[in-house]
Amino acid sequence: MNTFANVLRFAVAILLIGFGVTLMVGGLMSMFPDNAPPRVSIGDIALFGGFGVLPCVVGIMLWRRAVKVKRYLADREQEHQIIHLAQRMGRKLTVSDVVLHTSLSAEQAEQTLRDMVVKGWAKLEISDSGVPVYYFHTLISQDEKHGAAGI
């Protein structure tokens, strides 16, 4: 997923929400003028909803989508860091290894490692001292790749 496209989503969402709020405030000021009785017509309500509420709703939906994409991209980056670290450290990692050698916090490291076990990229093992060790069995050496036999 493209980060520029996601930044654009955020920008368009902000513009739509701002546009919608501005039109809603203007519509309310028009329908309820100072020192005069309210004058609300069906057309005013339709314009208020169509040009005020609708852009806000679309903007909020776009914002929520951009937040999901941002979270997805961050998760993929964390997995990427861990895979590279596992390759450098002989395919076995602990949460402490990930925290020491990446920018991830202990909570982020632990959650990402668990997610990678669920996805099948790693297997959970327990050391003699009871420390969880994540074994990245899907990473194999170049020699092992070259020696692979056909099925």
Helix (H/G/I), strand (E/B), else coil: 133: strand
- Return the pLDDT at 1: 57
Amino acid symbol at 90: G
Model confidence at 145, pLDDT cuts 50, 70, 90, reads confident
Tally of CA atoms within 13 A in the half-sphere of 97 that contains its CB: 20
- Return the pLDDT at 72: 93
- Return the pLDDT at 108: 96
Bridge partner residues of 135 (DSSP): 92, 123
Query: What domains are there in the chain, each with its CATH number?
Result: 3-135 (1.10.10.10)
Please say if the pLDDT value at position 29 is more than 70: yes
Q: Which tops the pLDDT comparison, 31 or 54?
A: 54
- Return the pLDDT at 39: 81
Instruction: Please tell me the distance from the alpha carbon of residue 112 to that of residue 114, in angstroms, as a whole number.
Output: 5
Tens of pLDDT, residue by residue over 85-126, are 999 999 999 999 999 999 999 999 999 999 999 999 999 999
- Return the pLDDT at 31: 83
First to last CA, the chain: 35
Amino acid symbol at 37: P
Contacts of 130 (CB under 8 A, 6+ apart): none
- Return the pLDDT at 3: 82
Among candidate residues 121, 114, 126, the one with its CA nearest the CA of residue 137: 121
Tens of pLDDT, residue by residue over 37-79, are 888 888 788 888 888 899 999 999 999 999 999 999 999 999 9
| Model confidence, pTM | 0.70
Question: For the purposes of burial, counting CB atoms within 10 Å of the CB of 149, is it exposed (0-12), middle (13-18) or buried (19 or more)?
Answer: exposed
Tally of CA atoms within 13 A in the half-sphere of 110 that contains its CB: 6
Six-digit token pair at 93?
């990692």
Note the helical H segments in the chain.
3-31, 42-48, 54-88, 95-101, 106-118, 142-146
